[in-house]
Chain A
Amino acid sequence: MKVTGWVGIAAGLLILLSCAAAISALIGASGGAISVSGADFSAIRFTLLQAALSALGSLLIAVPLARALARRRFRGRDLLVTAMGAPFLLPVLVAVLGLLAIWGRNGVLSALMESVGAERLNIYGLTGVVLAHLFFNIPLVTRLLLQGWATIPPEHLRLGQQLGFGPVERFRLIEMPMLRTVLPGAGLLVFLLCISSFAIALTLGGGPRATTLELAIYQAIRFEFDLPRAGTLAMIQTGLCLIVAAVTMLIARPGEARAGMIHPDPFSPPEGRVLDGVVIASVAMFLSGPVLAVILRGAPALLELPYGVVEAAIRSILVALSSAILTVGVGMALSIGLVRMAELRPRLARVFEAAMLLVLVISPFVLATGWFILLRGHVDPFAIALPMVVTINALMALPFALRAFVPAVAMARRTDGRLADMLGLTGYTRLRHVLLPHMRGPAAFAAGLAAALSMGDLGVIALFGSTTTATLPLVMYQLMGAYRMEAAAGAALLLLLLSFGMFAVIDRLGKSHDPV
C-alpha cells in the first residue's frame, strides 16, 4: 500500500508535469506574444456564440422538460430518466450521423418540409453545431435539474397547495428559487463543454464561418503546419476554459442533495398536463429519433461491413481496453496516494486533487499539440498516434475515476484497514483482501466509462491518425466524408453497440459476486 501510494503520487506529479510541459511548449511555439488574426477572432467569436446559444437552448428546453418529468408519473418515466444518462457514453459521430438522418437536407424532416412546399433544411454551420450540442446537453441539464427538483421539500409543495398557489405562484415561490441556484452552474457547465467541441464542429461546422477554436487548432496543424498559430490558439482555448471553469466553481453552490431517489411530485396539478405531455413527447422524439435512425440505417449494413471497418473496430477495442486499464491502474494508485496524503497533509492533498481535476479542463488537442511540439524531431507523431490516444483518453477519464476511487479507498482504510493493521497484513495480501474488495465496483465502473469514452472519441486520432492507425470513429468519419452513408451507418451502429456493450459488460464485472 505504501509503495503503491508513492507510485500513485509520482504518476500524478508526472501527469501534472507533462500538462505543464505541453503548455510551456505551446507558449514557446507561439513566441510568447499572442498575435491574433481576423480569422482567429471569428473562431473565438463563433466558439463563444455557439457555446452560449447551446447553453441557453439547453436550459430553455431542459427546464420545462425537467419540470414535467418531476411532477408527472407515467409508464416508462423511469426508463426515460435513465436513458437521459446515455448521451454521456454516446459517441459524438454516431449522434451526428443520426442528426443528419433526421435534420439533414436529405433527412426525414426535410422531406416533410418539402412535401408541404417549404424549403429543405440546411444543417451545416451554426444551426447544426448548436443542434448537436442541444442533443447532448439537454439530457445532461435535465438530470441536473431533476436533482434540483428533488431538493424542493415536499412540505413546500403541500404548503403551496394549502395556500392555494396557482401556476404562477408555484413557479415564482417554489421552483424559481431552486432554479436560481441550479441553473447558473448547469449553464456554465454546458458552456464549458461546448467551448471544447471538436468532432461536432469538424463534421457539422462549415468553413471559416463555423470554426471553433479546437477546429482551428486542428486546421492550423493538419492543413497549414502553422505551429505558432496552433500554439496561440491553444493558449486562448486553455485560458478561456480555465476562466469558465473558475467561474463555474465560484458560482456552483453544492446543493443539499436529498437522500433517496428523485421522487415525482405526487400531487401533479391538473393544469398543464397536456403541455407537459407535449414537452416530454417532443423532447423524447428529438433525442431518440437520431439513435433510432442510426439503428435502422445501420442494421442492414452491419452484416457487410468493409474490412477496414472491422479492422478499425478491433483496433478501437484494444485502444479502449488499454485506456481503461491505464485509467484504473493510475487512478487506483493515485487514490491510495491521495488518501494517505490526506491523512498526513490534508490541505496539500486537497490542492493536489483539485489540480488533477483541472486536467479535465485542458483540451486533449492542446495536450497533444504541446506534446507533439516537445517530441518533434525525436519521434514521428503518426507512429505513436495510438499510444498518444490511449494516454490522452485515459487522462480524460481519470477525473471521473478519482471521484469514484478516493471515497472507496478512504472507506476501505477506515473500516477494514484497522483490522488489517491489527492482524499485521501488509503488501500484496493487504491489497488483495483489504482494498480490492472495496474497489471492485468503482473500478469496474471507471473502467467501463473509460473504455466507452475512449471507444467513441474522435479527437487526437483525427490529428495524427493514418490508414494504419485509424480507429473506428476515424474510419466512420472518412466513410461519411466519402459519402458512403450505408457503410458509415453500419460503422455507426457497430460503434454504438461497442461503446454501450463495453460499458455494460465491464461495469457488470464489478457487480457479480463470484471473485474473478
Chain B
Amino acid sequence: MIRFDGAVLRNGGFSLRADLTVLGPGICAIVGPSGAGKSTLLLALAGFASIGAGRLMIGEQDVTALPPAQRPVSVLFQDHNLFAHLDVAANVSLGLRPDLRLNAAQKSRVQQVLQHTGLQGLSARKPAMLSGGQQQRVAIARALLRDRPVLLLDEAFGALGPGLRREMLTLVRTVAVEQNLTVLMVTHEPEDARAIADHVLFVAQGQVHPPLPTAEFFAAPPRAVADYLGLD
C-alpha cells in the first residue's frame, strides 16, 4: 500500500499535489497529459524529488525523509538503465552489491534471475550488444534481484515497438504476480493500462487524482479524463 497524505511534490519549479492511496499488490497505471507531473510522482516515490509538505507512507513505513537507497522501491527508466562499460552480469549484480564483490551464492542467484528473465547466455555481453528489449530485461532482472516490494516503470517500454512492448508488459505482469509486487507504471498508451493494469490513476493540472479500477476508469471516465482520452 502506498499513501500520499496531503503531500506536495516538488521537482525544480514544478509542484504537484497528491492525496491518495494506491492499494497493493497489483499494477496501477499512471496516465495524463505530458507535463502534468506523471514522472514527478514516480521521482517523489523513489526519493529523487522532494516532498515539500505532507508525508508519504509505503506499507507501514513513513519514507518521506528516507534517501533513495533505503526506500522499498526499484525504478526502471525509459533509457540509461544500464552502465555501458559493465557487462550484463555486472549490471545485474549491482542490485546486490554496488562494489560488485559477490560470493558464490550471490553469483548463482544472478544466473538464476538472468535465466528467469530470458537472458541466459547473454551474461558476458555489453549493453551496446543488446536489443532495446533485452536491455530492459536486464534492468528488470536487477530489480528482481533487489527484491523491493514496489516497482516503478517510468515509460520504461515507450521506446519499443508494439509487439515487444506487449511482450515486456507480460513479463512485468508475471513477475508482479510471482513476487507480490506493487507496480506503478507511467504510460502514454491507454492500451497498456487496459492490458495489464488493475487500477488507473490520472494526473492533470498539478493534481494527482485517486486511482479507479481499470474497467471503471475507461467505462465512465471523469470529464478531464474523457477530454484527455478524446472520448465524448
Seen from chain A, the residues whose Cβ lies within 8 Å of a Cβ on chain B are 153, 155-156, 158-159, 161-166, 168-169, 173-174, 177, 266-267
By the criterion CB–CB under 8 Å, are A162 and B68 in contact? yes
B81 within 8 A of A: yes
Measured between beta carbons, the chain B residues less than 8 angstroms from A155 are 77, 79-81
- Render B47-58 as a binary contact track against A, CB cut-off 8 A, 1 for contact: 110000000000
Confirm or deny: B73 has a beta carbon within 8 angstroms of a beta carbon on chain A. Answer: yes
Complex contacts, B163 vs chain A, CB 8 Å? none
Asked if B191 is at the interface of the complex by the 8 Å CB criterion, the answer is no
Is the pair B98, A162 in contact by a Cβ cutoff of 8 Å?
A: no
Known: A153-B80, A155-B77. A161 touches B98 (CB 8 A): no
Q: In the assembly, what is the distance between CA of A122 and CA of B69, in Å?
A: 51
Chain A minimum-CB-distance residue to B83:
A173
Neighbouring B residues of A161 by C-beta, 8 Å? 47-48, 67-69
Residues in B neighbouring A158, C-beta threshold 8 A: 43, 46, 48, 68, 75, 77
What are the residues of chain B within 8 A of A177 when measuring CB–CB? 83-85
Q: Which of A156, A163, A168 contacts B69 (CB 8 A)?
A: A163
Which of B75, B79, B86 is the one whose CB lies under 8 Å from A162? B75
Q: Is the CB of B48 within 8 A of A164?
A: no
Within the assembled complex, what's the spacing in Å between the Cα atoms of A501 and B2? 60
Q: Closest approach, in angstroms, between the C-beta of A263 and any C-beta of chain B?
A: 10
How far, in whole Å, are A369 and B47 apart by their CA atoms in the complex? 64
* B74 interface hit (Cβ, 8 Å): yes
CB A257 to nearest CB in B, in angstroms, measures 16
**Which A residues are in CB contact (< 8 Å) with B83?**
156, 173-174, 177
Is B25 an interface position by the 8 A CB rule?
A: no
B70-106 CB contacts (< 8 Å) to partner A: 71, 73-75, 77, 79-81, 83-86, 94-95, 98-99
User: CB-CB < 8 A to B68: which residues of A?
Assistant: 158, 161-162
What's the least CB distance linking B77 to chain A, in Å? 4
User: For the side of the interface on B, what is the size category?
Assistant: 20 to 34
Q: How far is the CB of A242 from chain B (nearest CB, A)?
A: 32
A164 to B69: give the CA distance in the assembly, Å: 5
Q: Using Cβ atoms and an 8 Å threshold, which residues of chain B touch A166?
A: 98
- Which 3 A-B residue pairings sit nearest by Cβ, starting from the closest? A164-B69, A155-B80, A153-B80
Q: Which of B124-160 contact A (CB under 8 A)?
A: 146
What is the predominant secondary structure among interface residues of chain A facing chain B? helix
Q: A158-B68, A158-B75, A177-B85 are in contact. Are A165 and B80 (CB under 8 A)?
A: no
Q: Shortest beta-carbon distance, B82 to chain A, in Å?
A: 9
Known: A163-B146, A174-B83. 20 other contacts (CB 8 A): A156-B80, A156-B83, A158-B48, A158-B75, A158-B77, A161-B48, A162-B46, A162-B68, A162-B73, A162-B74, A163-B69, A163-B98, A164-B69, A166-B98, A168-B99, A169-B98, A173-B98, A177-B83, A177-B84, A267-B48
Beta-carbon contact of B74 and A153 below 8 Å: no
Residue of B whose beta carbon sits closest to that of A177 = B85
Residues of A within 8 A of B81 (CB): 155, 159
16 contacts between A and B (CB under 8 A): A156-B80, A158-B43, A158-B77, A159-B75, A161-B67, A161-B68, A162-B68, A162-B69, A162-B71, A163-B69, A163-B146, A166-B98, A168-B99, A169-B99, A173-B86, A177-B85
CA–CA, A178 to B85, complex, Å?
A: 10
CA distance A158 to B77 in the complex (A): 10
Find the B residue at minimum CB distance from A170.
B98
A253 → B minimal CB distance (Å): 13
Residues of A within 8 A of B95 (CB): 163
A156 CA / B74 CA spacing, docked (Å):
13
**Which B residue sits closest to A159, measured CB to CB?**
B81
Residues on B with beta carbons closer than 8 Å to the beta carbon of A169: 98-99
Q: Give Cα A164–Cα B142 distance, bound, in whole angstroms.
A: 14
Q: Which residue of A lies closest to B74 (CB)?
A: A162
Binary interface encoding of chain B residues 199-230 relative to chain A, with 1 for a CB under 8 A from any of its CBs, else 0: 00000000000000000000000000000000
Q: Which residues of A contact B99 (CB under 8 A)?
A: 168-169
The reply to whether B94 and A163 form a contact with Cβ atoms under 8 Å apart is yes
B3 CB to closest chain A CB (Å) equals 21
Given the known inter-chain contacts A163-B95, A169-B98, please indicate yes or no for A153 contacting B79, CB distance below 8 A.
yes
Whole-angstrom distance between the Cβ of B169 and the nearest chain A Cβ: 21
Within the complex, what minimum Cβ distance (angstroms) separates B176 from chain A? Answer: 19
* Max chain A Cβ within 10 angstroms of own Cβ: one of B46, B67, B71, B98: B98
From A162, A165, A169, A173, name the one whose CB has the most chain B CB atoms within 10 angstroms: A162
Contact residues in A for B75 (Cβ distance below 8 Å): 158-159, 162
- What residues of chain A lie closer than 8 Å to B67, measured between beta carbons? 161
CA–CA, A161 to B79, complex, Å? 16
CA distance A267 to B86 in the complex (A): 24
Contacts of A156 in B (CB 8 A): 80, 83
Chain B residue with the shortest CB-CB distance to A267:
B48
- Complex Cα spacing A161 to B68, Å: 6
Residues on A with beta carbons closer than 8 Å to the beta carbon of B74: 162
Give every chain B residue within 8 A of A266 (Cβ-Cβ).
12
Closest chain-A Cβ to B217's Cβ sits at a distance in Å of: 29
Q: How far is the CB of A155 from chain B (nearest CB, A)?
A: 4
Q: Nearest CB to that of A161 among chain B residues?
A: B68
How far is B75's CA from A169's CA once the two chains are assembled, in angstroms?
Answer: 19
CB distance from B168 to the nearest CB of A (A): 18
Q: Is the CB of B98 within 8 A of A164?
A: yes
Residues of A within 8 A of B86 (CB): 173
In the bound complex, CA of A159 to CA of B80 (Å): 9
Give CA–CA (A155, B78) in the complex, Å. 9
Question: Considering only CB atoms, which chain B residue lies closest to A169 in the complex?
Answer: B98
Instruction: Report how far A266 CA is from B49 CA in the complex, Å.
Output: 9
Q: Nearest A residue to B154 by beta-carbon distance?
A: A155
Chain B residues near A173 (CB-CB < 8 A)? 83, 86, 94, 98
The complex places the Cα of A153 from the Cα of B99 at a distance, in Å, of 21
Shortest distance in angstroms between B6's beta carbon and chain A's nearest beta carbon? 24
Q: Which of B15-70 contact A (CB under 8 A)?
A: 43, 46-48, 67-69
> In the bound complex, how far is the Cα of B50 from the Cα of A267, in angstroms?
10
In whole Å, how far is B2's beta carbon from the nearest beta carbon of chain A? Answer: 17
Chain A residues with CB under 8 Å of B84's CB are: 177
A177 to B73, CA, bound (A): 27
- B10 to chain A minimum Cβ distance, whole angstroms, is 11
